[in-house]
C-alpha cells in the first residue's frame, strides 16, 4: 500500500511540474490581459507544487500541515483570479463585454 501511495504522490508532483513548465511557456509568449491571467495561473501552480512537495517529503518527520494547507489555499485563490481574468477576456472577445477605449 505504501508503494502505491508513493507512486501516486510521485505522479501528482510530476503532473504539477509539467503544468508549471507549460504555464511558464505560455506566459513567455502572450501579452496584456492574457499574460496577467497566466501569471496568476503560474502563481497558483507554484503554490500547488510547493504544497505537494512539502506534503510528500517532510510529512513523515515535521508537521507542515499549516504550510501545506496555506499553500493550497493560496493556489486556489490564484487559480480563481486567473479563471476570472480569462473569463473577462473571453467575454470581451465574444463581444459580450465592451472593449475599453485605448
pLDDT at 40: 85
* Cβ neighbours for 12, distance < 8 A, ≥ 6 positions apart: 52
Q: Please give the distance of CA 44 from its chain centroid, rounded to a whole number.
A: 3
Whether 13 is in a domain gets the answer yes
What is the domain extent for residue 84? 2-94
Decide if pLDDT at 95 tops 70: yes
Whether 101 is in a domain gets the answer no
d(CA 27, CA 45): 13
Instruction: Write down the pTM of the prediction.
Output: 0.63
Q: Specify the number of domains making up the chain.
A: 1
What would the pLDDT profile of 31-67 be if each residue is shown by its tens digit? 666 677 778 888 888 888 888 887 776 655 556 777 7
Whether 102 is in a domain gets the answer no
Confirm if 79 and 51 have CB atoms less than 8 A apart.
no
102/42: higher pLDDT: 42
Whether 11 is in a domain gets the answer yes
Whether 73 is in a domain gets the answer yes
Whether 72 is in a domain gets the answer yes
Amino acid at each position: 500500500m505504501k508503494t502505491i501511495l508513493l507512486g501516486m504522490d510521485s505522479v501528482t508532483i510530476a503532473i504539477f511540474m509539467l503544468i508549471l513548465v507549460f504555464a511558464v511557456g505560455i506566459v513567455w509568449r502572450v501579452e496584456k490581459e492574457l499574460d496577467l491571467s497566466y501569471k496568476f495561473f503560474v502563481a497558483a501552480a507554484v503554490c500547488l507544487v510547493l504544497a505537494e512537495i512539502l506534503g510528500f517529503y517532510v510529512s513523515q518527520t515535521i508537521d507542515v500541515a499549516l504550510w501545506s494547507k496555506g499553500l493550497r489555499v493560496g493556489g486556489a485563490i490564484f487559480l480563481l483570479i486567473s479563471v476570472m481574468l480569462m473569463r473577462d477576456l473571453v467575454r470581451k472577445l465574444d463581444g459580450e463585454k465592451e472593449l475599453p477605449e485605448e
